[in-house]
Amino acid sequence: CKYTPCPAQCERLLRLRLENGFRLFRERAAASTAKNLVVFSHYPTDYLWKAPDILAGLSDASRHHVEYFGGHRHNTDQSSTISTAPNSNWVVGGGGGWSCEMPTESTPRQMGFVVGEIDADFRLTTRPVLVDSRICCQ
């Protein structure tokens, strides 16, 4: 918001969107009878540490399997996030963005996307399809 002409209004709108998004998740998780919930957000679970009730909801497998997809970072992984076990979550930032981020030994890059499949018994499985991250910087 610091780059906008109205930072206070920007902050207010962001807070409102956050509250509405959390409310929508709570309502839909409570009302749904589906075996699976597929939840998308801009932010991965490690950005939700101030919302323990949302993390608890994403981790609750008593009624649904919850598969959460967040982005923001330019990576595709399940290791840089806060766990939602026994459910599952992904960072699916893919690659690219505003800069090229070459892999290093301390920050390996996994760029690609996630394939999800639901079988005849409604079991949801996911797997990454990754590309050589060095290609993204050519």
Q: Residues 45, 24: one domain?
A: no
Q: Residues 9, 54: one domain?
A: no
Q: Residues 43, 109: one domain?
A: yes
Say yes or no to pLDDT of 99 above 80: no
pLDDT of residue 97: 57
Number of separate domains in the chain: 2
At residue 136 the predicted structure's pLDDT band, cuts being 50, 70 and 90, is low
Q: Residues 26, 46: one domain?
A: no
Higher-confidence residue: 19 or 113? 19
Q: Please give the residue range of the domain that contains residue 129.
A: 35-137
pLDDT of residue 66: 98
Q: Residues 98, 46: one domain?
A: yes
pLDDT of residue 135: 72
> E strands along the chain, which residues?
36-40, 65-70, 76-77, 88-92, 111-118, 124-131
pLDDT of residue 98: 57
Q: Residues 107, 124: one domain?
A: yes
Kindly report the pTM of this predicted structure.
0.87
Q: Residues 96, 123: one domain?
A: yes
pLDDT of residue 123: 96
Q: Residues 44, 83: one domain?
A: yes
Residue with tokens 């497998």: 61
Q: Residues 39, 100: one domain?
A: yes
Q: Residues 20, 88: one domain?
A: no
Question: What CA–CA distances, in Å, run from 18 to 47, 75, 90?
Answer: 12, 23, 19
Q: What is the mean pLDDT of residues 85-111?
A: 76
Q: Residues 55, 91: one domain?
A: yes
pLDDT digit string, tens, across residues 25-66: 999 999 999 999 999 999 999 999 999 999 999 999 999 999
